[in-house]
Structure 1
């Protein structure tokens, strides 16, 4: 092994963030809801289907192309992601210009969604291998950019819509996203076989030896723990994404914000989404992965139930932003948790399979929100439904805690994995 050819792992991490910041712009979708629905002269819930389709295709492409991503490596898959996502956004501009809603669904939802899925899983297993000493931190970095993207692109989108028009805004953004992803993909690559960072001193219970297993994706599908984590992620995502997709209109309705003020809140949601990814994934190295999810679900049962009853603007926003940190934290802690549960043999492929939960939740969460909200006209009732779902997630998380604790006892490793 020629050490001179080994790349800087922190620049690899920066490349991963570059990819995720670009594709994470999907989280600023609520900013474009009102401008786009005016172009197509339809209700906002109709326009939101492009977002739902994009998340659906994200999960499906991550699941079905996960093994391909591992086979060809992050450089090829990252480049492919940039091409798909860039063309998807550029095509969305053409759809707006032609006033074609089906073309908008195809470009933003299907083509852009495939780019999302490829770009999302491309850096994850790569970074875990570059950072065997800081697995939680690494997965936080890999996914942090996805959360921070709304901070950057939410206000930029609104500004472009106002200054150059909706179609031209998509054209500009499509070129920008494609360039950032392609440039990032040129640097990112896997570490050498059996790579260990210079000066790394493994501590007992902190290395890959502490993993419950080291199995491939097919074997993972035969375990109970796979379905526990799938259900936990599905509920966390469905509830969180419902709030994110409705954030801008909700702020305009609940707090009487202007579209630009609401866009700024979407940007702040991006801040806390990103911060939560680094914060909670890093804390999970110390709290234990299962305990981290239990904290998420207990807090959100209470938060979703009481949030619409809060009249103070500051309190409302603080609770909302805390929920968003946990939504982002769930994503960032997931790859590290999967590494603990199944090892790193096919981490990217297993991660892709679990992200089918995201595919389904991206459709189910916003749809439940829209249906309950339109039927009852009550934000209280709408969020109470999601509080009930979090109660189910808490029960599943407790089963998961028991599962991993018993598994480690059977391994006789003396490892405390809560």
Structure 2
């Protein structure tokens, strides 16, 4: 299985055949940037996570908003740092492998954070969504852009703009889903964390719909990427 996966993700396997329509690439890049743009909607989780224990009202042992704000800050810092650190690896390894790794980090960050929510350990969320998820964000940000520039040397601004515009749009979808979730459509109001606590949980029936969709969308989009022939 691992040998098959390594072969499938190899850079040489992503070289497009003659006649491949380059305009298939921007939608995949846009899809990936829509997914990683979830970071801008993370604030919808902050207020509910201040009352994980108190549920209706914050208790003395609940987290403070000032502490929760560091999750976003760490993730954005790691995004920039990982983009710089892994830039050469992204170029060397090709889009399929790098975006698959980014998707695993992105989803893995939520999984680690879910453990932090269940155990009420904020440091696990810092590591999960901040560090591990931030690495996924950084690699997932630069890999589509790098690929698009190769496909559109004549229109680099247009091509990269089509992808990057998605980075700021996913929050509209996630925030909307969160609002619907508060009405009880997606979540069980009897769950100990309540409808408003749409933070990532351990199992699928407790994981926010938008985040499950985002992770799967990210992985599927990463697998259809191709590089132009030299």
**Could you state the TM-score of these two structures normalised by the residue count of structure 2?**
0.77
Give 1:4 deviation, angstroms.
5.1
Indicate the residue corresponding to 2:97 in structure 1.
76
The unaligned stretches of length 5 or more in structure 2 are 1-14, 53-60, 188-194
Report what 1:315 is aligned to: none
Higher helix share: 1
Aligned to 2:42: 29
- Among 29, 32, 57, which residue is 1:19 paired with? 32
Output the CA distance in 2 between the equivalents of 1:143 and 1:132. Answer: 17
Q: Distance in 2 between matches of 1:116 and 1:3?
A: 26
Partner of residue 56, structure 2: none
Given that 2:177 and 2:210 are in contact with CA atoms closer than 8 Å, whether structure 1 keeps it comes out as: no
Query: Structure 1's 84 and 4: CA in aligned 2 closer, same or farther, altered over 3 A?
Result: closer
Instruction: Report deviation, 1:38.
Output: 2.0
Is it true that 1:57 corresponds to 2:78 in the alignment? yes
Cα distance change, pair 153–171 in 1 and its aligned pair in 2 (3 A): closer
Q: Is the 8 A contact 1:35 1:161 kept in 2?
A: no
- Equivalent residue, structure 2, for 1:383: none
- Matches for 1:380-391 after TM superposition, within 5 Å: none
| Number of equivalent positions | 192
Residue 23 of structure 2 corresponds to residue 10 of structure 1: yes
Q: Which residues of 2 match residues 325-340 of structure 1 at below 5 A?
A: none
Structure with the greater alpha carbon radius of gyration: 1
1:254-269 correspondence runs (5 A): none
Q: Deviations over 1:115-169 (max 9, x none)?
A: 1001000111211121122221111012111111111111113433553243446
2:180 maps to: 159
Partner of 1:176: 213
State the alpha-carbon separation in 2 of the partners of residues 5 and 192 from structure 1.
Answer: 8
The structure showing larger relative contact order (alpha-carbon pairs under 8 Å, at least 6 residues apart) is: 2
Paired position in structure 1 for 2:117:
96
CA shift, 1:173, in A, is: 4.1
Contact 1:21 1:147 in 2 (8 A): yes
1:86–1:112 Cα contact (<8 Å) kept: yes
- Shift in Å, 1:33: 1.3
Distance 1:90 1:181 in 2: 15
Contact in 2 for aligned 1:90/1:170 (Cα 8 Å): no
Q: How does 1:210-221 map to 2 (within 5 A)?
A: none
Q: Give the secondary-structure state (helix, strand or coil) at the position aligned to 1:50.
A: helix
Partner of 1:201: none
Mark the runs of 5 or more structure 1 residues left unpaired by the alignment. Answer: 194-418
Q: SS at 1:178's partner residue? A: helix
Task: Note the 1:295-334 alignment, pairs <5 A.
Answer: none
Counterparts of 1:157 and 1:44 in 2: how far apart (Å)? 19
How far off its partner does 1:171 sit? 5.2
Residue in structure 1 matching 2:67, options 46, 58, 78 = 46
Kindly indicate whether the alpha-carbon contact (under 8 Å) linking 1:24 and 1:149 is maintained by their aligned counterparts in 2: yes
Contact 2:113–2:128, Cα closer than 8 Å, also in 1 = yes
| Aligned ranges 1:153-302 → 2 under 5 Å | 153-160=174-181, 163=184, 164=187, 165=195, 166=198, 167-168=200-201, 170=207, 172-193=209-230
Task: Between 88-97 and 147-156, report the one with greater CA deviation.
Answer: 88-97
Q: How does the TM-score come out when normalised to structure 1?
A: 0.43
